[in-house]
Chains A and B, each alone.
Chain A
Amino acid sequence: MLITLLPQRRQLEISGRHRVAEVLRQLNLLPGTVMVIRGDELLTDRAIVEAEDSIEIRNVISGG
């Protein structure tokens, strides 16, 4: 799967299909600190991301 991290605009790839929770664990991201977006849809921790999917992982924590 192709992952775009925002706001860094960094792209990376993970092979195979995985649950969102597993993807976040691999990237060392805490639950509740990012939104996982596929197209127009928000994904919960238990949703499955297919190997050929592109997703966006968007940080929601701001420092103001």
Chain B
Amino acid sequence: MKCKRCKAAAEVHVRQHSSAFCRACFVVYFQRQVERAIHKQHMFSADEEVMVAVSGGKDSLALWDVLQVLGYRTVGLHLALGIGGYSTASTTRTEAFATERGLPLVVVHLEEEGCAIPQLAGFTNRPACAACGIAKRYYFDKLAFERGVSVLATGHNLDDEAARLLGNVLRWQVDHLAKQHPVLLPTHKRFVRKVKPLFRLSEYETAAYAFVRKIDYEVDECPNSSGATQLVYKDALNRIEAVMPGTKQNFLQDFLRLGYPVFARSVDSPPNSCSQCGMPAFAEVCSFCSLRREVDSKRARRATARRT
């Protein structure tokens, strides 16, 4: 296989575009794809500070790397989830990346907030991934607002977005489809713009980019994610992709072009404010405060049971 740009021996095969690149040209191609997504989708401009949600995995660290190379002003945001050794290793890698490059990083330890993921899941009988999703969304929104940035970027890639789309379509979650876009504008005074600059790049491409850029990312998977439905959807899509390359990309791109505008029109009213914490809420309290209430009451009940 030869590099599409310089005809040297190729190292990275980009199946959905049926092209291949040598190491140097792949880096250029990848960074241009991200830059093009930022411009074409009007994600943010050069004078805005961008908060980047970083987990320590390949996608978010690759994203942070590209944004730094492209000259954007960034601040990292990392949630230490409290999921044993996996979380400790992820936090260590994130901090090392920031230190090495002199990038500012905000770290929140959920354990110190009394809501490490195992506690949230254990006290509420919710699947750990559901509790984790609620906590992440809450802290991302809250810390972006408190920092005063106007935009929050996450490392979601093409595979993440296509899998999410498949899940939303299989259950016809119309309200979720109305919000599945690489740029989400704020609908509440405490929301910031949310963007996904890697949405056109596959999971293989982000991993290859992290590898050739020698980014020391966390290779281990979250112990909770085995059997996650997201992985079932990804596997189904990858089986189709193996026979029909480009399917994932067309599925997502055509949804954004043809489906999204239809669903977005049907969107419900904007959120009001949580009576407890002031963050956006679709009920009287936001989903995070309602989760915490559940945890607190279970905790209290268990403590009483132990005393009697």
Contacts and interface: CB of A to CB of B under 8 A. Distances in A.
B283 interface: no
A24 to B, nearest CB: 10
Contacts of B159: 61
Closest A-B pairs by Cβ, 6 of them: A63-B225, A60-B207, A63-B228, A44-B13, A63-B231, A42-B11
Interface string B1-28: 1000000001111010000100100000
B238 A44 contact: no
Interface in B138-194: 159-160
Contacts, number: 77
A47 B210 CA distance: 21
A44 B15 contact: no
Contacts of A35: 204, 207-208, 211
A44 B10 contact: yes
A46 B15 CA distance: 13
A7 B219 contact: yes
B238 A32 contact: yes
A33 B239 CA distance: 10
Given A35-B208, A42-B208, A64 B57 contact: yes
A40 B146 CA distance: 42
A44 B204 CA distance: 12
B212 interface: yes
Interface string A38-64: 000111111000000000001111111
A30 interface: yes
Given A33-B238, A44-B1, A45-B13, A7 B207 contact: no
Contacts of A46: 1
A23 interface: no
B212 A32 contact: no
Interface of B is mostly: helix
Residue from A33, A35, A37, A64 with most neighbouring chain B CB atoms (10 Å): A64
B83 to A, nearest CB: 12
Nearest to A33: B238
Interface string B246-271: 00000000000000000000000000
8 contacts: A32-B15, A33-B203, A42-B23, A44-B1, A44-B13, A60-B58, A61-B234, A61-B238
B222 A63 contact: yes
Given A44-B12, A59-B221, A64-B55, 20 more contacts: A6-B219, A30-B242, A32-B202, A32-B204, A32-B238, A32-B241, A32-B242, A33-B204, A35-B211, A41-B11, A42-B208, A44-B1, A44-B10, A58-B219, A60-B204, A61-B231, A62-B203, A63-B221, A63-B228, A64-B225
A57 to B, nearest CB: 12
B15 A31 contact: yes
B306 to A, nearest CB: 35
A2 to B, nearest CB: 19
Residue from A44, A59, A61 with most neighbouring chain B CB atoms (10 Å): A61
